[in-house]
Amino acid sequence: MAAIALAGLATPSATAAGAVARPASSPGCDTARSAVAASLDTLTRRHGIPGAAAEVDDGTCGKWNIAGGVADLGTGRPMNAQDRLRIGSVSKTFTATVVVQLAAEGRIGLDAPVERYLPGLIRGNGHDGRRITVRQLLQHTSGLPDHSEALVDRPVEEWRYRHFEPRELIATALEQPRPDKKWHYSTTNYLIAGLIVEKVTGRGVEAEVTRRILKPLGLRTTYWPGDETRIRGPHSRSYFTGPDAPDGTPSPRIDGTEWNVSFGGAGGALISTPSDVGRFLGALSGGELLPARWLGEMKRTVPADPDRLWPGARYGLGLIASPLECGGWWWGHGGTVPGGHRALGAVGPGGRSVALALNQVPGTDRAEEDFLAVVNTAFCAADRTGHPDSTDRTDRTDRSEETP
């Protein structure tokens, strides 16, 4: 999802702290924990992110979490990896999974035109739902603009607390300039996918995600907020900065925790925790939600625009594939919301998973690179000292290790 541009500001930062319960210590596990702690510390101390947290889960070191900085600048409450946050576009993977489940059931054709399910919805400015397939929606190759780009150009207070209907936002997108590249990241694609789910099931996409994913996996901290502007239960605050003053004075940091995220809908509205995100992606990768053939469809990727994601990234059906510096790929998704939360969940070689949470979006290219570096660190640090998962991978069948 598009986000309001943010500037890095200095902020107090607490030292990263270890997990609630650690398994028996080993050189590889200790190295991984220390390296992830240092990576989070880079975000809070060097780049001024108020709080950063990570949860890592693998078969050798078990599940552990680390947090640094503060969850609330007003009270100084420490960041906690078990806190809820808005996960933004990580929501797309949940929605895409339901669409592919329905495809596996024969109720949606991935290569069927949008027109089959939503006649007349996509018309105008050269767009035609008869020539756009469901697969292209999920893959961001539909050629549709992103309604979010129109919103963030408007003053925040005009839309921060507003309710938006999906069809209203789709109409806004169709009025925007046409993308100039074949692959164009657009949350509008997922609003349309959500309407297709509603059309074929008779229930909203939120209800289907809850029924098919959240309840079966026991993801009790994940929910769709609807028009609620507050986050339920323990959560980190989130922060953003507005435009600089006319004289160049930087905008002060603004609390963006309360927000109506109906503008994100099926493509960006979910609230969750790192633990639930990791559990979901692990279940998806492990075959709990889709038969192997259909998980393979989600992992059929095309090159992504590095200006809209990052160099080397590829995009499947609601899944990003990104190369690891230690070999192999991670599969998952990142998410951003205008109020300041930044999330990322990934599964890598051997089924190891990592989920990250920030309460301010990185404001520079270097800060974003250091955020992504936490993922590489979580997957690769232990391998540098002989983590058992780093040896003899030739006979593994986990599809997360395949080249997209």
**What is each CA distance from 127 to 75, 109, 178, 185, 251, in whole angstroms?**
50, 20, 9, 16, 39
Q: Is the pLDDT of residue 10 over 50?
A: no
Burial of 252 (0-12, 13-18, 19+ CB in 10 A): exposed
Q: Is the pLDDT of residue 303 over 90?
A: yes
User: What are the φ and ψ backbone dihedral angles of 302, each rounded to 5 degrees?
Assistant: -125, 160
Q: Residue 393: what pLDDT?
A: 32
Q: Residue 403: what pLDDT?
A: 59
Bridging pattern class, strands 239-241 and 127-128: unpaired
Q: Residue 156: what pLDDT?
A: 93
Residue-wise pLDDT for 248-295, tens only, equals 787 889 999 999 999 999 999 999 999 999 999 999 999 999 999 999
Q: Residue 21: what pLDDT?
A: 43
Q: How large is the average pLDDT for residues 204-210?
A: 98
Q: In which band, very low, low, confident or very high, does the pLDDT at 27 lie, cut at 50, 70 and 90?
A: confident
Catalytic residues: 89
- Average pLDDT along the chain: 89
Rg (CA), the chain: 20
% pLDDT > 90, the chain: 80
Closest C-alpha to 136, from 152, 153, 119, 122: 122
Q: How far apart are CA 8 and CA 36, in angstroms?
A: 21
Q: How far apart are CA 237 and CA 73, in angstroms?
A: 8
Residue-wise pLDDT for 65-115, tens only, equals 999 999 999 999 999 999 999 999 999 999 999 999 999 999 999 999 999
Q: How far apart are CA 295 and CA 324, in angstroms?
A: 21
Bridging pattern class, strands 51-58 and 353-358: antiparallel
Closest C-alpha to 338, from 226, 259, 245: 259
Tokens standing for residue 128: 């035609």
Q: How far apart are CA 238 and CA 298, in angstroms?
A: 31
Q: Is the pLDDT of residue 19 over 80?
A: no
Is there a contact between 54 and 352 (Cβ–Cβ < 8 Å)? no
3-state secondary structure the chain: CCCCCCCCCCCCCCCCECCCCCCCCCHHHHHHHHHHHHHHHHHHHHCCCCEEEEEEEECCCEEEEEEEEECCCCCCCECCCCCEEECHHHHHHHHHHHHHHHHHCCCCCCCCEHHHHCCCCCEECCEECCCCEHHHHHHCCCCCCCHHHHHCCCCHHHCCCCCCCHHHHHHHHHCCCCCCCCCCCCHHHHHHHHHHHHHHHCCCHHHHHHHHHHHHHCCCCCECCCCCCCCCCCECCCEEECCCCCCCCCCCEEECCCCCHHHCHHHCCCEECHHHHHHHHHHHHCCCCCCHHHHHHHCCCEECCCCCCCCCCEECCCCEEEECCCCCEEEEEEEECCCCCEEEEEECHHHCEEEEEECECCCCHHHHHHHHHHHHHHHHCHHHHCCHHHCCCCCCCCHHHCCC
Q: Residue 237: what pLDDT?
A: 98
